[in-house]
Homo-oligomer: A and B are copies of this chain.
Amino acid sequence: MRLVEIYQCLCDETRLRLLNLLQTGPLCVCHLQEVLDMGQVAVSKHLGYLRRHGLVTATREGKWRIYRLVDPAPPELRRHLACLQDCTREIPLFCEDQRRLAARLQDCCPPGPRAGTREPSAIHFRTKPNP
C-alpha cells in the first residue's frame, strides 16, 4: 500500500470518523450513517473510497453490508491507524461518536462482545424499522 494513498484516505473528517468507529468493530452502513448524522450518499461514497483504497472490506449479511477494517492490515496502515487512535482519543467529536455508537447498538444488538464475533446477527440485528 502506498503511503500517500493512506494519507489521502485520512485527509477527510468524515472518513476519520468512519475509521474511528470501525476501530471498535465491524459495522453496517446504516449504523454509521446514524451516528455520523450524514446523508446516505456521503457515507456510502466515503466507505466506497476507503474500500477501493484497501483500508476496509465489505461483506453482505442479509440485506446489510458490513464494513470492517482490513485484516490483516499492512504494516504502514497499522502504524497509522494506531497513531490516529492515539490522537482521536483526546478529541471530543470522536469520543462523542463512540458514545453515540454504543448507545445506538444497545437497542439493536444482543449483549456481549461485538468485534470479532462470527454471527452476523451480532453485527446487525435491527429491532426498529427505519423512519
- What is the interface of chain A, defined by CB distance below 8 A to chain B? 3-4, 7-8, 10-13, 16, 76, 79-80, 83-84, 86-88, 91
Contact = CB atoms under 8 A, between A and B. Distances in A.
Copies in the complex: 2
Contact of A11 (B4, B16, B79, B84): B4
Nearest to A80: B83
B16 A88 contact: no
Given A83-B80, A87-B76, A87-B79, A4 B8 contact: no
A7 B13 CA distance: 10
13 contacts: A3-B84, A3-B91, A4-B11, A4-B12, A4-B13, A4-B16, A7-B7, A7-B11, A7-B16, A10-B11, A11-B11, A79-B87, A80-B83
